[in-house]
Amino acid sequence: MLVLDSVENVQEMIRMWRKDGDVIGFVPTMGFLHDGHLSLVRAAKSQCERAVVSIFVNPTQFGPGEDLDAYPRDMEHDVALLEKEGVDLVFAPKPETMYARDHSTVVIVQGLSHVLAGEHRPTHFAGVTSVVAKLFNIVRPDKSYFGQKDFQQVKIIERMVRDLNFRTQVIMMPIVREPDGLAMSSRNTYLTPEQRRQALILSQSVKWAEKTHAAGETDVQKIITTVTQMIRAAGPDLEIKYVTVVNPKTLEPVAKVGRGAVLLIEVYVGKTRLYDNVIF
Ligand code: PAF
């Protein structure tokens, strides 16, 4: 497995693989890998001749006062995990490799980036789309893999790919959960044992909504109200940012829970931001 930090070396390697006709699968990450990331890697491995993973804690997607410095990192462990999965190339650039001192270009997906999480993190998705656009230009993947837990992120990247004619197929993989239901996230390590216990209400309420809808409930307000009450009752450390049911393309609230609508939840547990969702 190659571990490279230079853009030119990655591009050269990819050029050679492309010349051989290899299909390139790409998993962008910020490292501190868990089974959620590895499910993306395994999908890339099974669907492509070459699997490329990037590890880069992207500073531009963290707002002022957010957890850029505290974000968990363990490059050695990540590299060992990826080696075991049979990944072909890890791109782990330094911040100064990705961003020139006077970098001044930003990719913004209007609309979708400013609703939901974008309302209280106004610059976050511009940071995500800018770095993912750069990574797509460097790796030129045929297929790229993202996790459903970050549903809004996936929809924004799909829109960017369509609008800017990137030649990659965006593939969204299902949420991977801990045995007790908590959606896997690198940020789960921030939780105290008590906060982690309270956080279980996210997956429990999502599961409740899924079951209730399967039993015939289509009343959006009823689902949102009950999920909200369940979360509020679960503990003093929980702060709801939103509980909403949206159209999966526009991310606009729907009037009725139809097929394909998505329940999206963002909750702060203490200072830790957690997401969960279900596609009905
Ligand atoms: O989901 C993430 O880990 C990041 O937002 C991504 C897509 C790697 C961009 O930095």
Report the CATH number at residue 147.
3.40.50.620
* CB 40 less than 6 A from any atom of ligand 1: no
Do 232 and 97 fall into the same domain? no
Residue 103's identity, in one-letter code, is H
The per-residue pLDDT for 93 is 98
Do 229 and 145 fall into the same domain? no
The per-residue pLDDT for 227 is 98
C-alpha of residue 29 to centroid of ligand 1, in Å? 5
- The answer to whether position 179 is within a domain reads no
- The answer to whether position 180 is within a domain reads no
C-alpha of residue 211 to centroid of ligand 1, in Å? 30
The per-residue pLDDT for 68 is 97
- Which protein residue has the closest C-alpha to ligand 1 atom 2? 29
The per-residue pLDDT for 64 is 95
- Which protein residue has the closest C-alpha to ligand 1 atom 9? 128
| Mutation choice for ligand 1 from 128, 161, 185, CB with most ligand atoms inside 8 A | 128
* CB 131 less than 6 A from any atom of ligand 1: yes
Count Cβ atoms below 10 Å from residue 244 Cβ, excluding itself: 22
Active site residue 37: yes
Do 161 and 264 fall into the same domain? no
CA distance 164 to 160: 6
The per-residue pLDDT for 167 is 97
C-alpha of residue 128 to centroid of ligand 1, in Å? 6
Domain span at residue 192 reads: 186-279
C-alpha of residue 48 to centroid of ligand 1, in Å? 21
- Which protein residue has the closest C-alpha to ligand 1 atom 1? 29
The per-residue pLDDT for 238 is 97
Do 24 and 105 fall into the same domain? yes
Domain of 213, CATH number, reads 3.30.1300.10
Do 135 and 96 fall into the same domain? yes
Do 113 and 135 fall into the same domain? yes
End-to-end alpha-carbon separation of the chain, Å?
39
The per-residue pLDDT for 99 is 98
The per-residue pLDDT for 175 is 98
Do 140 and 115 fall into the same domain? yes
Do 152 and 205 fall into the same domain? no
66: exposed, middle or buried (Cβ count in 10 Å: 0-12, 13-18, 19+): middle
- Count structural domains, the chain: 2
- The answer to whether position 203 is within a domain reads yes
Do 42 and 151 fall into the same domain? yes
Do 120 and 237 fall into the same domain? no
Instruction: Return per-residue pLDDT of the chain as tens, 280 residues.
Output: 999 999 999 999 999 999 999 999 999 999 999 999 999 999 999 999 999 999 999 999 999 999 999 999 999 999 999 999 999 999 999 999 999 999 999 999 999 999 999 999 999 999 999 999 999 999 999 999 999 999 999 999 999 999 999 999 999 999 999 999 999 999 999 999 999 999 999 999 999 999 999 999 999 999 999 999 999 999 999 999 999 999 999 999 999 998 999 999 999 999 999 999 999 9
Do 100 and 11 fall into the same domain? yes
